Amino acid sequence: MTDHFEQDEQTDRPEPEHPARVRSFVRRGRLSSLTRDRMELLGPSRALPEGPFDPPAAFGRVAPVVLEIGCGHGHAAIAYAAAHPEHDLVAMDVHTPGLARMLADAEEAGVPNLRVEVGDAVLFLQERVADDTFDAIHLFFPDPWRKKKHTKRRFVSPTNLDLLARVLRPGGHMLIATDQDFYAAHVLAEVAQHPRFEASRAPRPAWRPSDGFEAKGLVAGRTITELRLDLVG
């Protein structure tokens, strides 16, 4: 989830709005010299090659591939990569300072199976990802967009579920975690109307750290809901 960011000294250059769709995020934050240094020094070795996403070319091997959407500072992504060295993981976010911090932490953790992509996950999936690419997709503590007028901005929507169903391999799944009951209900309602997914409550992944938004939610007395969406049909 990337809706609260620290402020530094140089503003990100705004991106043009993509026509005919509603974004599920707001780009915020500024680039410090530390962030720029980390991106320049550590980014190239973990960046995806330009053009269509080719997992063997990106990771140098054939392995199950996972995508984490809205990875924030990357705690969950790094933990997954460390716990599943036989899998490859792409971590995506629009917040450059958070990704820069993740690059530094990933370097310290020594996880060769992690790649980083800065940008809009929907456009990435629409324009660069072929059918049946990912074995799993993770969406942990996304922006819930609690106001009724912002419901259309929530990531889990009929259009995005269609897109996820296309890029997931047969038998693939999606893991979602949220500390907002209304968002969990929203996901279950959307999935109930979608022909390609079945939703169920899931145990909390043992590998996922409990810091960040999960910890804040627990301190605030909120319940963490874990959902698994299985691709069917």
For the chain, give every domain's residue range: 10-231
Rounded CA separation 180/35 (Å): 31
* Pairing verdict, β 225-231 and 168-178: antiparallel
* pLDDT at 146 (0 to 100): 85
* CATH code, 10-231: 3.40.50.150
> Between the CA of residue 186 and those of 100, 169, 183, 191, 201, what are the distances in Å?
32, 24, 5, 9, 14
* pLDDT at 14 (0 to 100): 41
What are the residue numbers of the active site?
A: 143
* pLDDT at 29 (0 to 100): 53
pLDDT, averaged per 10 consecutive residues of the chain (233 residues), comes to 35 42 50 86 95 98 98 96 98 94 96 97 98 98 85 93 98 97 97 98 96 90 97 92
Predicted structure pTM score: 0.86
* pLDDT at 209 (0 to 100): 95
* pLDDT at 147 (0 to 100): 79
